[in-house]
C-alpha cells in the first residue's frame, strides 16, 4: 500500500483507535495514525496517515473543522452529550427560534470555552474523565477558540418538553461541540446537550470523499495530500540534495511553509528561516 492519507467516514460506536486498529490490518502496515479524535458517539471524517503519510498528520491537527450536530435543549447530562443519562430536565418547549438564534450568536466569533468535564484534558497528570468517574469535582480552565460560523439548520423541533435544533459549526481546532450545546442551554436557562455529531470537513478534506469501513480504502497520494495543506514549489536537483542533507535553500517566495516537489514527487515540507528555507520533514521520492 502506498504512503499517503486515507479518509474514513467513521461509524457511530467506533473509537478512533478502533478505526486505526482495523485499518492496520486492511492496509497491511502497523504505521497508521489519525489526525483529530472523534468520540464514539460521533460519525464522519477521520483522516488517517499511512506509512510516510503519518508525517503529515501533525500539520492537520491545527486546521479548522466543520461539524453538523443536533442539540437537545431542556435536558442536561454529565458528559454534555447523549453518552450519559439525563441529570436534569427543564421545560424548554416555550423557547422561541429568535431566542435560540440569539444564543447561537453569543457563541460565535472568538470566545473563551470551558471544555466538558468529561474530556481528555489532563489535570495534574490525570484525564478529566477519569477524575469524574472517581467522583471528584473537575474544574477546567477556559481556552480561547474561534467559531467562524454557527448556523441553525431548519426550524427547531419540539419533542415533549425538549427542543431539538440542528446546527452547523465551522470552528478552530480544539473546540468542543458538546460544550457549545451545554453553553447554549446555559444561555437559555434550560440546559442542553449534544445528541448527534458528524464531522464533515477538516481543512480542504471532506467526508464526501471518504470511504466507509466496509469499502476498500483509497489512499490520497503524498504529493496531493501535502499540496492540499501547503502551497507547492518546484525545486532543483541540487536543492533536493541540500534538503536531504539537512542544508537550507534559497527560494523566491514569501510563504512561511511550502511543499517542495520535484518531477511530480513530494520531496519535503519546508519552513522559512529569514531569507532561507529549512526542512520540517523529508520524504522518500514518490508520486
The three three-digit cell numbers of residue 47, written as one number: 483522516
- Apex 2 CA angle, 14 and 45, nearest 5: 30
Write down the residue that cell numbers 461509524 correspond to.
11
- Asked if 101 is an active-site residue, the reply is no
Which residue in 9, 39, 81, 242 is the catalytic one? 39
- Of 130, 1, 102, nearest to 54 by C-alpha is 1
Query: Which residue pairs, CB below 8 angstroms and at least 24 apart, start in 248-251?
Result: 248/273, 248/276, 248/277, 248/278, 249/276, 249/277, 250/275, 250/276, 250/277, 251/277
The three three-digit cell numbers of residue 61, written as one number: 491537527
For 11, residues 6+ apart whose C-beta sits below 8 A from its C-beta are 43, 212, 213
| Distance (Å, whole) CA 34 – CA 142 | 26
Contact 118, 216 (CB under 8 A): no
- CA–CA distances in Å: residue 157 to residues 3, 149, 165: 46, 22, 7
R_g of the chain computed on alpha carbons: 22
Residues marked as catalytic: 39
Amino acid at each position: 500500500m502506498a504512503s499517503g492519507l486515507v479518509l474514513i467516514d467513521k461509524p457511530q460506536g467506533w473509537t478512533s483507535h478502533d478505526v486505526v486498529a482495523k485499518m492496520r490490518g486492511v492496509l497491511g502496515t502497523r504505521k497508521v495514525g489519525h489526525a483529530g479524535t472523534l468520540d464514539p458517539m460521533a460519525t464522519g471524517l477521520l483522516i488517517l496517515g499511512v506509512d510516510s503519510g503519518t508525517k503529515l498528520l501533525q500539520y492537520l491537527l491545527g486546521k479548522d473543522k466543520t461539524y453538523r450536530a443536533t442539540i437537545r435543549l431542556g435536558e442536561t447530562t454529565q458528559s454534555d452529550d447523549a453518552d450519559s443519562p439525563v441529570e436534569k430536565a427543564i421545560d424548554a418547549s416555550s423557547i422561541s427560534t429568535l431566542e435560540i438564534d440569539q444564543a447561537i450568536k453569543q457563541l460565535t466569533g472568538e470566545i473563551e470555552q470551558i471544555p466538558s468535564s468529561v474530556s481528555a484534558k489532563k489535570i495534574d497528570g490525570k484525564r478529566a474523565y477519569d477524575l469524574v468517574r472517581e467522583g471528584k469535582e473537575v474544574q477546567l480552565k477556559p481556552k480561547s477558540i474561534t467559531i467562524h460560523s454557527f448556523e441553525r439548520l431548519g426550524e427547531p423541533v419540539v419533542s415533549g418538553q425538549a427542543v431539538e435544533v440542528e446546527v452547523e459549526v465551522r470552528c478552530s481546532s480544539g473546540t468542543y461541540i458538546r460544550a457549545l450545546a451545554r453553553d447554549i442551554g446555559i444561555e437559555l436557562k434550560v440546559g442542553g446537550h449534544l445528541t448527534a455529531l458528524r464531522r464533515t470537513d477538516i481543512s480542504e478534506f471532506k467526508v464526501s470523499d471518504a470511504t466507509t469501513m466496509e469499502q476498500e480504502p483509497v489512499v490520497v497520494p503524498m504529493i496531493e495530500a501535502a499540496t492540499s495543506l501547503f502551497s507547492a514549489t518546484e525545486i532543483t536537483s541540487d536543492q533536493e540534495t541540500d534538503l536531504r542533507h539537512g542544508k537550507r535553500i534559497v527560494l523566491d517566495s514569501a510563504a512561511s511553509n511550502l511543499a517542495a516537489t520535484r518531477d511530480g514527487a513530494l520531496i519535503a515540507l519546508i519552513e522559512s528561516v529569514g531569507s532561507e528555507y529549512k526542512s520540517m520533514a523529508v520524504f522518500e521520492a514518490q508520486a
